[in-house]
Every structure is written in structure tokens, then in C-alpha cells.
Amino acid sequence: MSEQFDYKKDFVVFILSYGRSRNIKTKYLLDKNNYTGDYYIICSKDDKSLDDYKKLYNNVIIFDKNDYIDKTDTIDNLNETKIVVYARNAVYDIAKNLNKKYFLVLDDDYDTLDYRFPFKIERPQGKKILYENNLDYLFKKTLEFFINIDFDIIAYAQRGDLIGGKGFYDRVYQKRKIMNSFFCRTDRRIWFKGTSNEDVNTYLYYGQRGYKFLTIPYVIIKQEITQKQSGGLTDFYKNYGTYVKSFYSIIINPIAVKLDLMGNKYKRIHHKINWDLAVPYIISDKYKK
């Protein structure tokens, strides 16, 4: 049986925010769905709107990117600082300082959580949304699952993951992404990598080495369309173009990652992962002699 956990004592949610002090959609998402656990807004020292954050919220934790610049592999020499990878690496230390065993890392622009199954289900009256009035239930069950399976990081799906149909639901053994929402263990540090595409770079780098990640396909996290908001990573995309991020993942794994064209009407360059070449398969122990 897996380790015991105390939801209130051992778990915390972090919202990574940068330059959006007055537009933290994720905070609203947690509040309106009666999340009762601890959560903190994580800001970096170089954020010009830091005073505004402090004025508006009493649960802001500030970290210094300089503490992580030397420790983080950005996979380039651009010396870009307005990037999220430092915060992703800082939260492990923040959780440790807070004496938390597990934490969930969210970006600041999530509108909704929803669910979707590969089979038709009837949504009973009064339960239109999975987490309605009880986000705690969803988080507790997710944590229970996370702890029992003993993985390094697990995540909820994002809207785009489900395009392409049922395959995403029944191929957890093969497609082991983590994006947008990260359930992490304080005692198993993962160093996120790359100025851009840090989530993809990280699951490819560690995944190939046998670290265990997966996405829960039933729970979907939705956010505003990237590159339309101000703040966050928008400046990086403006400076370098969105296509540049794919190259970071190619550098991490030149065998499994290739460039591809995505989209129906307007094509754009994006990375494409050949999962058979990316991470070891998970197989049942009944095949073990």
C-alpha cells in the first residue's frame, strides 16, 4: 500500500504568474470552485508589477531567478530571463520550505477545468461540471492516484490533446506527456529545461531515461489561446516567433522529434513526436519471467 497523505497538510497549489497581477484567471477558478487547500501565487523578483501583486493578494511568494540561472539548462545562449522555466524549477524549493510533500503547479491563465470520456455519458442534473463546488474532491482523487502509482509528475490534459480521438485515452503506456498542470513530488526534483517548450523538453529528456510521467486524459484544463494575452511568454514569442520553440525539443531528442506542419487552413511549424522512439513502454508484469 502506498504512503499516507494529509491533503490539507501535505499539498499545495502554486500559480505561476508574471505581469498579470490583475488578470489571474486561475485564482478565480480555484476560488469559485471552493478549493479549500493552500495556494500561493508565485512571482519573480524582476516582475515590474510585483507591488501590485503584493497589494492585491496576501498569498504571494517571490523567488529570485538569479538563484536558478546557473542551475537551469536553457538549451541556448540567449540569456532570456522573461521565461517560465526558472519558476518551474523554483517551486520545488518553495514547496520544501513550506513543508509540503506534493504540489500542483498551474499557470495563471486557466479559465476552466472540464472532463471528457471516450464514451458517451449522461451529465446528471446539478453536476454539469466535474469539480463544481468541490475542486477538493478532484484534487484529492488525483493525488491518491499519483501517490499510488508512484510516478514523478502527472498532469491533466489540455484541450488540444484530445484532437485525434480515442488513441489518447488508451495509450497512456506510450504517450507520456505532461503539460500545463503538474502534480509534483517535493522529494523527486525534476529540472525543467529550455528557454521555450520547457514542458516538452523536460518530459522528453527525463522520459527517455525512465522517469515516469503521464497525462490523465479525462480531466481537461482550458486556457486562453496562447499568444493572445499580454504578459507571460508572449514577449518571447513576439521576439523569436512561435516556431522556434520546436527546435528546443529537437535538440533534446533529435531522434524522436521532428518538425511538422500543423493546422488545416493555416499551416504552422510545430514539433511532432514519434512516441515509439521517445520513451520506454509500460508493460504489464505478466510478461515478466
Measured CA to CA, the distance from residue 155 to residue 158 in angstroms comes to 9
Residue 286: count other Cβ atoms within 10 Å of its Cβ: 5
Per-residue contact track with other proteins, 239 to 268, x per CB under 8 A? ---------------xx-------------
The single residue among 145, 168, 191, 240 that binds other proteins, judged by CB under 8 A, is 145
Question: 81 is written with which cell numbers?
Answer: 530571463
Q: 101-112 burial, b for 16+ CB within 10 Å, e for fewer?
A: bbbbbbbbbbee
Q: Sort residue 240 into left (φ over 0), alpha (ψ -120 to 50) or beta.
A: alpha
Measured CA to CA, the distance from residue 178 to residue 195 in angstroms comes to 17
Of 55 and 141, the one with the shorter C-beta distance to other proteins is: 141
The single residue among 138, 153, 220, 273 that binds other proteins, judged by CB under 8 A, is 138
Of 84 and 216, the one with the shorter C-beta distance to other proteins is: 216
Any contact of residue 289 with other proteins (CB under 8 A)?
yes
Any contact of residue 127 with other proteins (CB under 8 A)?
yes
Residues 151 and 214 sit within 8 Å (Cβ to Cβ): yes
- For other proteins, which stretch binds (CB under 8 A), given 23-31, 83-91, 187-195, 272-280? 272-280
Residue 182 Cβ, how far from other proteins at the closest point, in Å?
17
Beta strands 153-158 and 60-63, pairing class? unpaired
The single residue among 8, 55, 123, 189 that binds other proteins, judged by CB under 8 A, is 123
Q: Sort residue 124 into left (φ over 0), alpha (ψ -120 to 50) or beta.
A: beta
The single residue among 32, 59, 149, 188 that binds other proteins, judged by CB under 8 A, is 149
Of 184 and 219, the one with the shorter C-beta distance to other proteins is: 219
Residues forming the site for other proteins (CB under 8 A):
115, 117-124, 127, 130, 137-138, 141-142, 144-145, 148-150, 166, 169-174, 209-210, 212, 216, 218-219, 254-255, 276-285, 287-289
